[in-house]
Chains A and B, each alone.
Chain A
Amino acid sequence: MNENYEIVAENVSFSYPGEETNPPVRALRGVTLRVPKGSYTAILGRNGSGKSTLARILCMLEIPEEGELYIGGKLMTGDGVTETDILEARKRVGMVFQNPDNQIVATIVEEDVAFGCENLGVPTEEIRKRVDEALETVGMRKYARHSPHKLSGGQKQRVAIAGVIAMKRDCIIFDESTAMLDPMGRREVLDTIDKLNSEDGVTVILITHYMDEATRADRVVVMDGGTILKEGTPSEVFSDPEALWSASLDVPQTTELLYGLKKKGLDVPLDVFDPERCAAVIAGALASRGGKKNGDR
């Protein structure tokens, strides 16, 4: 049953150890998550909702206290998990972090992209090929010989993504990878992520607190207080804005607008996330209403 899933977390719990004055923080309480192969999952939640902790567990940076974690169908919790198993799991699941500056190791773009492959012991010609391909995918080919600190935030983050792609991971977790970028950089990175998922079939887990980013995914998981609050397609999750608002979360701007209009009696759907289409839907609804009124007369 686990074959069709890239990652399966069953009833996972985790606490951060307390310090002298602070009690331990229970970050995850029995989270169950199944990530199908090739899917695009967005994990949403406000600060402290446990979304980043979940990400760290999914790529084996933290070990859950309770529950089971399967990566590529292999059990990764409990006794008998060796260093080699962890390394194998890390070859399947990669992670792109929030701050691009703190994950770039080398002083030349292509050397950094190659870093992961070098660690895996990939032969030199193969590394060359993979690095070129990865840079092509993220559209940074012409910067191959540049120094990373002269690039913009979005470009740096795309270099970091290329580094993960070059390792040919089946699954990439993006832990708020767009949070530190300007709107331009965000769009660059999100388009790259879309492309990876749709063209190369990479399983994507996008952790974010921007609702608009989550609408790109095929599945949305909303977290609050260390548990999963809601789960489903973007349409399903955003169909009930009140529930999200009660968890101090936003809904996409389009949904908020449409929800307000619907409450005022306009017949519109809630699950239109593209601004252009949203405008078209509202215009259509207004026209048909106007038409009805005219007909009544």
Chain B
Amino acid sequence: MKMDIAFGQYCHGDSVLHRLDPRVKIVTAIVFIVEIFLAKSAASFALIVAATVLLLALSGISPRIILRGIRPIVFVILFTAVINIFFVRGEKPLVEFWVIKIYPEGLINAAFIAIRIIVLIVSTSLFLTYTTTPIALTDGLEQLLSPLSKIKLPVHEFSMMMTIALRFIPTLIEETEKIMNAQKARGADFSTGGLIKRARALIPIMIPLFVSAFRRADELATAMECRCYTGGKGRTRLNVLKAGPADLIFALCVVALGAAVVLLNIYVPFFKVGIY
């Protein structure tokens, strides 16, 4: 069994987007999400979609990878779209059949919601997971949150934990596959039977996995101790985060995009709908 872990995986590259300061990327990603929810008319949606396509072009990441990231959520998108088609009420029904009434508003709403979800997933993964190494991401978060360490919150320790967790995800997935194969070779069956039977079949996988994870944790702690790790105090960095002119320009562009979205909502209100 090969596990699909495309969503949330870093794609190596050297684009403009890759080189931006992770702190800037985290903040602008949040701003961009807000902008996606601000868009309310066809024109502003078109702008948001155009901006996302531009981001994709800037990142130099193959659209196939992006599609792979969307695949797991296709069902969610379809489901919300269908709900919208059937349940949104407007003024004049487009189609009337027994108790089913489909209004043009419903169709527009469904299309917008689908676009919104897709853009949300694509843009956040472009901003953060695809173009930012997990370690840069945790670094950025650590520095953004560093004021909190003043009130004794263990910000460095938390980001260290995040880094190690990210580091061990592929290792543990590999291990799970190994254990599953080992159990299958002994006649274990994971693919037939009801829900409860299948859940129970996972126990012989979980137990060895946990045992080995604890052993790994122990060895890693020893190795870290041997490399003089004593917590966040007095540590320096290989990559010090530095925001340059490119970061400033990028941030300004994202802010300008927000302004444009609001203006388009007001002045070009084609197909404007009140979506939630």
Contact = CB atoms under 8 A, between A and B. Distances in A.
Interface stretch (B28-36, B65-73, B119-127, B232-240): B232-240
B134 interface: yes
Nearest to B216: A102
A101 B236 contact: no
B238 A149 contact: no
A256 interface: no
Contact of B167 (A97, A106, A128, A131): A106
Nearest to A111: B135
Interface string B228-250: 11100011111110000000000
Interface string A39-82: 00000000000000000000101000000000000000000000
Interface in B152-168: 163-164, 166-167
Interface stretch (A113-121, A188-196, A279-287): A113-121
Nearest to B221: A102
Contact of B236 (A61, A103, A124, A148): A124
Contacts of A90: 225-226, 228
| Main secondary structure on B side of the interface with A | helix
B59 to A, nearest CB: 16
Interface centre among A101, A106, A107, A123 (most CB of B within 10 A): A107
B228 A106 contact: no
Interface size bucket, A side?
35 or more
B222 interface: yes
B223 to A, nearest CB: 4
Nearest to B233: A121
A99 B234 CA distance: 29
A21 B240 CA distance: 53
Contact of A107 (B166, B234, B237): B166
A117 B219 contact: no
Contacts of A148: 167
Given A107-B133, A147-B10, A127 B238 contact: yes
A167 to B, nearest CB: 7
Contact of B234 (A111, A121, A164): A121
Interface string A76-102: 000000000001001100110101011
B147 interface: no
Given A91-B228, A119-B228, A107 B167 contact: yes
B235 A118 contact: yes
A119 B135 contact: no
B79 to A, nearest CB: 34
Contacts of A149: 170-171, 174
A110 interface: yes
A108 interface: yes
A104 interface: yes
B227 A121 contact: no
A226 interface: no
Interface size class of B (residues with CB under 8 A): 20 to 34
Nearest to A90: B228
Nearest to B223: A103
Interface string B208-226: 0000000010011011111
Contacts of B164: 105
B92 interface: no
A115 B232 CA distance: 12
Contacts of A101: 171, 216
B209 to A, nearest CB: 14
Contacts of B10: 107, 147
A124 to B, nearest CB: 5
A122 interface: yes
A94 B235 contact: no
Contact of A115 (B174, B225, B227, B234): B227
A52 to B, nearest CB: 12
A189 B229 CA distance: 25
Nearest to B240: A124
B236 A127 contact: yes
Given A120-B228, A167-B228, A106 B223 contact: no
A155 to B, nearest CB: 15
A142 B235 CA distance: 26
Contacts of A119: 227-230, 235
A107 B238 contact: no
Nearest to B137: A107
B12 interface: yes
A163 interface: yes
Nearest to B167: A107
Nearest to B239: A111
Nearest to A149: B170
A128 B228 contact: no
Nearest to A59: B226
A87 B219 contact: no
A262 interface: no
A99 B224 CA distance: 14
Contacts of B134: 107
7 contacts: A90-B225, A97-B222, A97-B223, A105-B220, A107-B133, A119-B229, A127-B238
3 nearest A-B residue pairs (beta carbon): A114-B238, A103-B223, A102-B219
Given A107-B166, A118-B235, 11 more contacts: A61-B222, A61-B225, A95-B223, A102-B216, A105-B220, A106-B167, A107-B133, A121-B235, A131-B238, A163-B227, A167-B227
